[in-house]
Amino acid sequence: MRKFLNFIHNSKIKHIMVILILLCAFILVSAMSYVEAVSTNISDSVFRLHVIANSDTVEDQNLKYKVRDALIKYMNEISKKCTSKDEVINIAKDHSDNFYSIAKQVIEDNGYNYDVKINIGNFDFPTKKYGDISFPAGNYDALRVEIGNASGQNWWCVMFPPLCFVDVTSGVVPDDSKSMIRDNLSDEEYSIISDSTSPDIQFKFSLIEMFQNFKVANK
């Protein structure tokens, strides 16, 4: 009788463990699906600029900023009427030769003979805060500019919506830029990148970062 009761008891424990494992697996899969969908929608709403310096010397870092300023000025001129990310990307592709020429000219004007590479593609980015908007780490479409050996510290901003000119010290992104972002996201997705006070939102933002970091580490 005792053996039978022990068998029943052990069977119940095994069943409970199986149920708990299945429940945990379901929760994990659901969380990963949610994070993947949200992070994809967020990354799909922006187009970034990524400038990588030749090295970390003061001179090369200063050159990086000069190249950056010239490219942002030009991009702002040719894309100021754009209302969508696809428009901006198409314009960037159509003017990629001009980006190269502008960057090369700035480099030569400052007495350097570095080569420069211009690429438009999908790249990994860390978390970045622009005023009161934060973009989680992940893969984003971007215009990448590599100066010389491209072994120095890099600089990045969001070209669409136009946040490259945002004064991050002011802590506020212009309403028109926020409106462009909001138009491409659900209310919940927008709250994830704009609301840093809610514990629930902070948890979701951290969950997205953990998922993206896991993906990068296992590539």
State residue 98's pLDDT score.
95
Instruction: Say if strands 138-147 and 47-52 run parallel, antiparallel, or are unpaired.
Output: parallel
Instruction: Kindly state the DSSP code that residue 153 receives in the 8-state scheme.
Output: -
Asked whether residue 69 is assigned to any structural domain, the reply reads yes
Tokens of 159: 């070209």
Asked whether residue 92 is assigned to any structural domain, the reply reads yes
pLDDT band at 124 (very low <50, low <70, confident <90, very high): confident
Asked whether residue 170 is assigned to any structural domain, the reply reads yes
Q: 128 pairs with which residues across the strands? A: 135
Residue 99 to residues 13, 80, 132, 147, 166, Cα–Cα distance (Å): 66, 16, 30, 12, 22
Share above pLDDT 70 across residues of the chain, in percent, rounded to a whole number: 66
pTM: 0.73
∠54-133-55 over CA atoms, to 5°? 5
Instruction: Kindly state the DSSP code that residue 185 receives in the 8-state scheme.
Output: S
Whether 144 has a pLDDT exceeding 90, the answer reads: yes
Asked whether residue 41 is assigned to any structural domain, the reply reads no
Instruction: Say if strands 116-125 and 138-147 run parallel, antiparallel, or are unpaired.
Output: antiparallel
State residue 169's pLDDT score.
47
Q: How many domains does one find in the chain?
A: 1
Residues 152/62, Cβ–Cβ less than 8 Å: no
Asked whether residue 60 is assigned to any structural domain, the reply reads yes
pLDDT band at 29 (very low <50, low <70, confident <90, very high): low
Asked whether residue 29 is assigned to any structural domain, the reply reads no
Work out the number of other CB atoms within 10 angstroms of the CB of residue 52. Answer: 19
- Number of alpha carbons in the 13 Å side-chain half-sphere of residue 112: 23
Whole domain around residue 150: which residue ranges? 46-178
Give the mean pLDDT of the chain: 78
State residue 168's pLDDT score.
47
Work out the number of other CB atoms within 10 angstroms of the CB of residue 155. Answer: 16
Residues 115/84, Cβ–Cβ less than 8 Å: no
Give Rg (Cα) of the chain: 23
Tokens of 78: 């040719």
Asked whether residue 40 is assigned to any structural domain, the reply reads no
Whether 122 has a pLDDT exceeding 50, the answer reads: yes
Tokens of 56: 């970390």
**In a 3-state reduction of DSSP, which class is residue 162?**
coil
Asked whether residue 192 is assigned to any structural domain, the reply reads no
Mean pLDDT of 157-181: 69
